[in-house]
């Protein structure tokens, strides 16, 4: 009989939050020991997690040169399984668009870098600073342990690959039945209810849905670090990823 590893590797699930990034961290296969942390920048987060076995983040990795209807293949495939939650997956625009700091310029740029031409949604534009943070630091080599995840896809997988019937928000406000549904799924996956009731900090720093999404991405990171293969026990959309112009995989892992 072999004894359990006394020092299992750490994994992290990451979600964007008003204060920067919220990370749920725990030893591999030990979600009951999960804790949450806030990092102001993605660079600070990477510095803290250099020895981690796996990291999953809810933010696009790999950007197309030309945007297409519905976004990348990964976006379209993820949206197809989520039922009423499909609107949570936005169409990732072209890299030139993401590099715009002005909304009107972003719309003009996406018109020139999309087929057929289309503008970019303002809600998507508000995510550009965080996408740029990751795009400035990510490399194909780093993608071996840092992958893109989508919380609603993770929840779908935890739920037996069935779409969730309740949203997390209604009219931009937290929706308790949807949050409780996700807490129940995460509790069933081993996360403590005390953790899931947080975070105990002002909403201007991080909200309850940010923490739950970070737990869902941590669930995915744990799957990435589990098992004998380089992909652990994860699955992904699409099964064979497309590569962007920098050689980054455009995929959603779950």
pTM to 2 decimal places: 0.94
Provide the 8-state DSSP code for 253. Answer: E
Token pair, residue 80, equals 């197809």
Name the residue among 34, 6, 17 with its Cα closest to residue 203: 17
CATH of domain 10-90+138-253: 3.30.420
d(CA 86, CA 77): 10
Asked whether the beta carbons of 252 and 241 are under 8 A apart, the reply is no
Q: What is the pLDDT of residue 142?
A: 98
Residues 6+ apart with CB under 8 A from 73: 237, 238, 242, 250
Residue of higher predicted confidence among 252 and 173: 252
Q: Is pLDDT at 123 greater than 70 in this prediction?
A: yes
Q: Which residues pair with 67 in a beta bridge?
A: 114
Span 40-67, pLDDT tens digits:
999 999 999 999 999 999 999 999 999 9
Angle at 99 between CA 98 and CA 105, to 5 degrees: 85
Mean pLDDT of the chain: 95
Q: What is the pLDDT of residue 1?
A: 39
Tracing tokens 């949570």 back to the chain, one arrives at: 88
Span 194-232, pLDDT tens digits:
999 989 889 899 999 999 999 999 999 999 999 888 888
Asked whether the beta carbons of 8 and 20 are under 8 A apart, the reply is no
Name the residue among 126, 66, 123 with its Cα closest to residue 101: 126
Q: 63 exposed, middle or buried (CB, 10 Å; 0-12, 13-18, 19+)?
A: buried
């Amino acid at each position: 009989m072999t004894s359990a590893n006394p020092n299992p590797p750490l994994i992290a699930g990451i979600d964007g939050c008003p204060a920067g990034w919220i990370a749920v961290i725990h030893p591999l296969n030990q979600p009951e020991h999960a804790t949450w942390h806030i990092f102001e920048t993605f660079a600070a987060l990477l510095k803290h997690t250099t020895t981690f076995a796996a990291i999953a983040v809810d933010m696009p990795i790999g950007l197309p040169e030309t945007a297409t209807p519905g976004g990348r293949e990964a976006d379209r495939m993820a949206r197809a399984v989520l039922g009423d939650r499909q609107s949570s997956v936005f169409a990732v625009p072209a890299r030139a668009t993401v590099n715009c700091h002005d909304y009107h310029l972003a719309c003009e740029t996406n018109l020139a870098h999309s087929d057929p031409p289309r503008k970019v949604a303002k809600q998507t534009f508000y995510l550009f600073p965080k996408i740029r943070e990751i795009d400035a630091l990510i490399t194909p080599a780093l993608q071996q342990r840092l992958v893109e995840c989508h919380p609603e896809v993770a929840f779908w997988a935890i739920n037996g690959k069935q779409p969730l019937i309740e949203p997390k928000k209604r009219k931009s406000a937290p929706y308790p039945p949807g949050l409780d549904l996700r807490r129940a799924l995460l509790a069933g996956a081993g996360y403590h209810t005390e953790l899931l009731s947080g975070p105990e900090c002002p909403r201007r720093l991080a909200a309850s849905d940010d923490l739950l999404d970070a737990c869902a991405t941590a669930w995915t990171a744990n799957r990435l670090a589990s098992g004998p293969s380089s992909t652990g026990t994860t699955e992904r959309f699409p099964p064979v990823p497309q590569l962007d112009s920098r050689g980054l995989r455009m995929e959603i892992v779950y």
